[in-house]
């Protein structure tokens, strides 16, 4: 039960208590249920009225943790009442029960409204926290993408050197890890250098990376095609040539049931700009290859 012990709520509890009990024995029993101390209950003098006692009690209760706990319990027990035994056998029993019922109903309605407000506020707080968390994640992602973009820009200054090619391999697998794409780093199989692999939606793609000043040519396509087709039937290949491809290379890679997908620097910067995820970029080119047999799809034609 969610309760805010506002002055108005406390007044409603006071009123419901005052009108639900008329006999001293019944009220003291109720106060014990609410964990009011025996020392306080025993202080109820014979000359003190029920209202005077409750006035003293409700003046003290909001000031301590135990008192506030007792108030919350008192409100709960009062709202749970289904009958008013202490109001029986009076000359005006019917009127007393009516008044008590109205007091308890006011308490219930206010409490229900409070609970709805508290729940709504909790939902708003949760939504704000989730939004803040998402913003933090986005900010971290953007910073990581910016860092990866800066690193690639620096590598670009040494484009075509052997060392930059090795560093580009490491950089590319950092990008895969950031994109949470399962991957295997470069390895050698049967004497052939494989630049690694990645897996998207159950399909494994061998990777071929070219960080050269020259465009990838037909011989590069032929060599990679042999690597890919020597593996399991569902294996495909992803070639990334930063400087692009010759028209002959694109033609050689294309055709019915081509297992190759070709990407250049523009595809990579689409990811680094936060415009598309790498998995989405690869899936877009694969869909194009499935529909047309063409292994390369320019970024400019992604929306075509």
Question: What is the mean pLDDT of the segment spanning 42-69?
Answer: 92
pLDDT interval class at 2 (50, 70, 90): low
Q: 162 and 116 in one domain?
A: no
Question: In the chain, how many domains are there?
Answer: 2
The pLDDT of residue 186 is: 85
DSSP H helices, 61-92, are: 65-79
User: Is the CB of residue 279 less than 8 Å from the CB of residue 179?
Assistant: yes
Q: 287 and 205 in one domain?
A: yes
Q: Is residue 1 part of a domain?
A: no
Q: 292 and 183 in one domain?
A: yes
Question: What is the mean pLDDT of the segment spanning 177-185?
Answer: 92
User: Is the CB of residue 288 less than 8 Å from the CB of residue 294?
Assistant: yes
Look at residue 33 and give its three-state secondary structure. helix
Q: pLDDT per residue over 133-175, tens digit each? A: 767 766 777 888 899 999 999 999 999 999 999 999 999 999 9
Task: Note down the domain range covering 210.
Answer: 158-301
Q: pLDDT per residue over 189-240, tens digit each? A: 777 778 899 999 989 999 999 999 999 999 999 999 998 998 877 889 999 9
Calculate the alpha carbon distances from 244 to 190, 239, 268 in Å: 28, 10, 12
Q: Is residue 297 part of a domain?
A: yes
Query: For position 277, which CATH number holds?
Result: 3.40.1350.10
C-alpha to C-alpha distance for 192 and 284, rounded to whole angstroms: 29
Q: 175 and 73 in one domain?
A: no
Q: 163 and 116 in one domain?
A: no
* Least trusted range by pLDDT, from 111-125, 241-255, 268-282: 111-125
The pLDDT of residue 129 is: 77
Q: 261 and 203 in one domain?
A: yes
Q: Is residue 213 part of a domain?
A: yes
Q: pLDDT per residue over 112-144, tens digit each? A: 888 888 877 777 778 777 767 767 766 777 888
Better-scored residue on pLDDT, 189 or 22? 22
Q: Is residue 187 part of a domain?
A: yes
Q: 264 and 199 in one domain?
A: yes
Q: How many separate helices (H) and strands (E) can be counted in the chain?
A: 11, 7
* Least trusted range by pLDDT, from 78-87, 129-138, 258-267: 129-138
* Least trusted range by pLDDT, from 2-6, 79-83, 206-210: 2-6
The pLDDT of residue 121 is: 78
Which residues lie closer than 8 Å to 49 by C-beta, 6 or more apart? none
Query: In the sheet that 236-241 helps form, which strands lie side by side, from edge to edge?
Result: 183-184, 197-200, 203-210, 236-241, 260-263
Mean pLDDT, the chain, integer: 90
């Amino acid at each position: 039960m969610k309760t805010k012990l506002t002055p108005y709520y406390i007044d409603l509890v006071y009123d419901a208590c005052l009108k639900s009990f008329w006999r001293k024995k019944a009220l003291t029993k109720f106060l014990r249920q609410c964990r009011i101390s025996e020392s306080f209950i025993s202080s109820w003098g014979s000359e003190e009225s029920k209202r005077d006692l409750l006035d003293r009690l409700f003046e003290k209760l909001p000031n301590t943790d135990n008192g506030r706990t007792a108030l919350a319990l008192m409100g709960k027990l009062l709202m749970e009442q289904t009958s008013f035994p202490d109001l029986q056998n009076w000359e005006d029993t019917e009127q007393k029960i009516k008044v008590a019922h109205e007091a308890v109903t006011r308490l219930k309605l206010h409490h229900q409204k409070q609970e709805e407000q508290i729940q709504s506020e909790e939902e708003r707080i949760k939504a704000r926290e989730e939004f803040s968390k998402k913003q933090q994640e986005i900010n971290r992602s953007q910073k990581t993408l910016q860092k990866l973009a800066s690193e690639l820009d620096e590598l670009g200054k040494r484009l075509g050197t052997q060392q930059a090619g090795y560093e580009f391999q490491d950089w590319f697998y950092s990008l895969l890890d950031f994109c949470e794409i399962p991957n295997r780093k470069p390895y050698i199989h049967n004497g052939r250098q494989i630049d690694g692999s990645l897996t998207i939606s159950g399909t494994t793609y061998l990777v071929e990376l070219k960080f050269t000043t020259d465009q990838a040519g037909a011989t590069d396509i032929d060599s990679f095609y042999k690597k890919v087709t020597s593996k399991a039937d569902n294996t495909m290949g992803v070639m990334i040539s930063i400087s692009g491809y010759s028209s002959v290379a694109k033609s050689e890679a294309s055709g019915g049931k081509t297992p190759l997908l070709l990407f250049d620097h523009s595809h990579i910067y689409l990811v680094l700009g936060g415009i598309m995820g790498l998995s989405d970029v690869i899936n877009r080119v694969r869909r194009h290859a499935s529909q047309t047999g063409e292994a390369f799809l320019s970024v400019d034609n992604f929306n075509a």
